[in-house]
A and B are shown apart, each in its own frame.
Chain A
């Protein structure tokens, strides 16, 4: 069991080193932090009363909503190289011939990218910290908001990894993952438009925002956890199938 995780960490460490030595992560982090800071400032100025309840509703809820939306674009960029580049530079064979199983390779890459995005997110922790000086103290809601965004990111990254396993072209990979993610976001429109309440409920359940919003409001439902874990697991499993198909 230890060897299972140490193999995953071996690859994750290397992937993290690659990410932190590439300019892409820093450019995206800089852009993301700047955007979040600017949005935070604007929402704060627009907020009429500075009470804990209104700050949550008029500042943090939209901030978390925007974060989720931005990662819809960032996740394909962060994941597009994961397998596409390995194929292009001929190193995928090196990994496939190693002691690592397919699932260990996929999890190694998944963990590294999720940790990279957590690094990006960590800069936004300064926002609630600033408000804490003004007396804001609803930390549980901030915690569930961040938990929700991390669960969403896990879904996005798993989709991106799957898309990257299908092609050796990073741009095509980014486009595929963006289309899948956009589709998962837009399901909510079909849910709203549906006349049949059961179909509407089912479609709502399949849409990421439906579950994410619960986390932001502090209403963490067990079915939302099941949804995030299932979607992430499903796309990681598809990635494994995609790697396996190379043997044949």
Chain B
């Protein structure tokens, strides 16, 4: 099956930082695959996502999506759906106004806009809250709206950056349910989190990161993941083990 995302030997440091946020990082994601990007705070997950979402310079040929470097994608970028970790919404505007704005940016034709907005509202169960100002929504509802915006353009690749932060149980279950619906429909998914349980629920495979490096890439198996993370942490503290056990990179 073709690779949707290919990252080859990518390194990156933030200005005025001696630490590498990404250190010779490589990753391949196949079409229809659902990859959990797992790692603790500071692992480099969000930095990696920022390359895929276009925030970092797109001219880097080491990152390709749909088989082409990002800067050559043009309007194909609109086939990527992205829900950032922050609630990137306009709080003073209504749910509907937010969705209309992003549907326009996604170049959805006027005729399709209404249908798409209704569809995503239904997907995230916010149809009855469409006229509410975003500021008046609960944390969980905001998260669902954040997800809805990413779904507007029916993306082939969906990138979700910690989409359940600060969400109540009900909203969390709903989000997982919808993500699994998308998986079944063939959407390629990159899902960042630092919770193993979430990876288990919505991902086929996992890419485990720490300190900007890929420390495990393989199937979702709780025991293997725990073992890998522990051995990597040990290798760092003892500085003696060059080949951590159990890696399936």
Please say whether chains A and B are actual partners in one complex: no
Binding site for B on A (CB under 8 A): none
B residues within 8 Å of A by Cβ? none
